[in-house]
Amino acid sequence: MFETIQGEGAHTGIPSIFVRLQGCPVGCPWCDTKHTWTLDDALVTTAQAVIAKNEESEHYFDVNENELLALFAAQGYVAKHVVITGGEPCMYDLIPLTELLHNRGYTTQIETSGTFEVRCDPRTYVTVSPKINMKGGMEVLVSALERANEIKHPIAMQKHIDELDILLEKVSSLDGKQVCLQPISQQARATELAVKTCISRNWRLSLQTHKYIGIE
């Protein structure tokens, strides 16, 4: 849990509180948060220990939604946009948390692989970053794509765009949805391909701004 600037997608630049939930069976090989994959009671520690850590660790804390909100206050967080990510956040029923946050004056965003049903407040902005043919063998759900406000797809080569096209054919309508392409690891060829495709299709380019400017 930390406060920073949202670095990706349509909300780039917005001050945000990131809540990273533990557990993910998807198995993306390029994942930069592999320390969030494992669920094990032996790894549970205090909130204070997790918040204070300055390096990656598999340890995590366990609180309910009211306790989480109290932690925001205790940390002095001022951002009013909460990004719920992971791991894979949609392993969990996020309705109680997102309802509470909206009722307390926050906006919420979920970042998900699309491999679980999305259970959240109707006001929540849902970003699906579809993970296709990953090690975990999980399928991207059409229901998750239908719920998405934003479909943000990491690409390195043309085949990744082709895979996205196959998924988008299953969506009833893209009206009101942002489609974003995000070059993997700031690769020059991937960036060039993403820019070219976004222009030709009137899609949106998503850059991992936080990595360019060196913040969390």
Report the distance separating Cα 24 and Cα 22, nearest Å. 7
46 labeled part of a ligand binding site: no
CA distances from 174 to 9, 117, 124, 179, 203 (A): 16, 19, 18, 8, 11
Provide the H-helix boundaries in the chain. Answer: 47-52, 65-75, 95-103, 142-147, 158-168, 188-201, 209-213
Structural domain boundaries, residue 9: 2-213
The pLDDT value given to residue 28: 87
Q: Please indicate if the annotation marks 107 as binding a ligand.
A: no
Q: Is 86 annotated as a binding residue?
A: no
Task: Give the contacts of 71 (CB within 8 A, at least 6 positions apart).
Answer: 1, 47, 51, 63
From first to last of its 216 residues, the chain has per-residue pLDDT tens of: 999 999 888 999 999 999 999 999 999 887 888 999 999 999 999 999 999 887 889 999 999 999 999 999 999 999 999 999 999 999 999 999 999 999 999 999 999 999 999 999 999 999 999 998 888 889 999 999 999 999 999 999 999 999 999 999 999 999 999 999 999 877 789 899 999 999 999 999 988 666 655 666
The per-residue pLDDT for 82 is 98
Q: CB of 87 within 8 A of CB of 19?
A: no
Q: For the chain, what is the domain count? A: 1
Please tell me whether 130 is known to bind a ligand. yes
Q: What is the largest CA-CA distance in the chain?
A: 50
Q: Determine whether the annotation assigns residue 5 to a binding site.
A: yes
Residue 43, token pair as written in the block:
């790894």
Is 85 flagged in the annotation as binding?
yes
Residue 87 labelled as part of a binding site: yes
Residue 6 is labelled as binding a ligand: yes
Helix (H, G, I), strand (E, B) or coil at 90: helix
Q: Confirm whether residue 131 is marked as ligand binding.
A: yes
Q: What pTM does this model have?
A: 0.92
> Does 62 belong to an annotated binding site?
no
Compute the CA torsion angle 39, 44, 48, 50 (nearest 10 deg): -40
Are β-strands 81-85 and 107-112 bridged in parallel, bridged antiparallel, or unpaired? parallel
55 phi/psi in degrees, rounded to 5: -150, 165
CB burial class (10 A; 0-12, 13-18, 19+) of residue 167? middle
CATH code for the domain in which residue 154 is found: 3.20.20.70
Q: Are 17 and 2 in contact (CB under 8 A)?
A: yes
**Residue 16: what residue type?**
S
59, 38 Cβ separation under 8 angstroms: no
pLDDT for 209? 65
pLDDT of residue 212: 59
Give the SS3 label for residue 157: coil
Q: Which amino acid is at 169?
A: E
